[in-house]
Amino acid sequence: MKRFALLGETLGHSVSPMLHKAIYRQLEIDDASYRTVELPVERLKSFFTGFRVGGFDGVNVTIPHKASVIPLLDEVDSKAKLIDAVNCVNRVGNKLTGYNTDLLGFAYSLRQNSVKTENSVFAIVGAGGSAKAVAVALAEGEAKRIFLLNRTPEHAQQLAEIIKTSNDSVEVTICEQTELADHATDIDCIVNATSVGMSPDVDESPVTESIFNSNMVAFDLIYTPLTSRFLQQAKDNGAMTINGLQMLVAQAVYSVEIWMGGNIVAHVDLNALVRDLEKSIN
């Protein structure tokens, strides 16, 4: 039996066990389990000691442990290292390697929704772990310009440096709400990578409605609710909207691909997984 887990601090709400079991069912894998493990940061080290000697075959990592696990690994994929966030760990023998499949999941969702990155202008709201994954995906995709808006300007500055390290030709502008609104007509796609608007705080949005217009795409990493206040503001102004569910599903499928090998993404019906999850979230 292969054993997998999601590691976080508070995971009562997590849909990941249901999602992973649905992936294993589609792949007709009946000897794999997936469970949640809730741990405070002080207990990470002892968990990884057990993981390394066979306690699990692979783990996903979520808030607040994505950076804290890095010193406990033997190797970290170059993109995960740049982002300073690992959300997937694979064990081969006693060796643990960290990856970031949020980046792959975000890029997958952009492709599926025909959002072109090359030469396009993006705005990222937020500068935490997921904003870094989004930013590197956009920089690798040869985005032309990225506007950054974040509550703490120093975190936006760190994110700007990460983008420049990933691709020096991307123009990066750190801005306030008013400056972002001034450039709204230049923006092809605005991404909410903050937790603002996540259930239960469903009436909140990290931006003012004046930012949206019908020529832009609005992508919210949040998937609870499926239509956040941010996406509702965008819809009300005629923008195309994408929620975070497809990204969530894709990052999970990419994790399974890392753990089990083979071209799993091509053999899984991701749309069916999204539809099933939608029913459980609504």
**Residues of the shown chain interacting with ligand NAP in the complex, contacts defined by CB under 6 A:** 63, 102, 105, 126-131, 150-152, 155, 193-196, 198, 206, 221-223, 244, 247-248, 251
Q: Strand pairing of 58-61 and 88-92?
A: antiparallel
| Backbone dihedral angles phi then psi of residue 54, each to the nearest 5 degrees | 115, 5
Closer of 52 and 103 to ligand NAP (Cβ): 103
If one counts every other C-beta atom within 10 angstroms of the C-beta of residue 256, the result is 26
Angle between helices 153-166 and 129-140 (to 10 degrees): 30
Closer of 90 and 130 to ligand NAP (Cβ): 130
* CA 170/CA 144 separation, integer angstroms: 5
Q: Which residues contact 72 (CB under 8 A, 6 or more apart)?
A: 44, 45, 48, 96
Quickly tell me which residue has 């890029």 as its tokens: 107
Instruction: Indicate which residue of 45, 66, 144, 235 is catalytic.
Output: 66
Its sign, for the CA torsion 108, 96, 259, 30, is negative
CB of 207 to ligand NAP, least distance (A): 10
Tokens read off for 84: 């300073």
Tokens read off for 9: 């601090």
Active site residue 279: no
Residue nearest to ligand NAP (CB): 128
Closer of 43 and 151 to ligand NAP (Cβ): 151
CB of 228 to ligand NAP, least distance (A): 9
If one counts every other C-beta atom within 10 angstroms of the C-beta of residue 81, the result is 14
Rg (CA), the chain: 18
Closer of 58 and 206 to ligand NAP (Cβ): 206
CB of 76 to ligand NAP, least distance (A): 17
Closer of 52 and 123 to ligand NAP (Cβ): 123
CB of 193 to ligand NAP, least distance (A): 6
CB of 26 to ligand NAP, least distance (A): 19
DSSP conformation class of 99: E
Question: Which amino acids are annotated catalytic?
Answer: 66
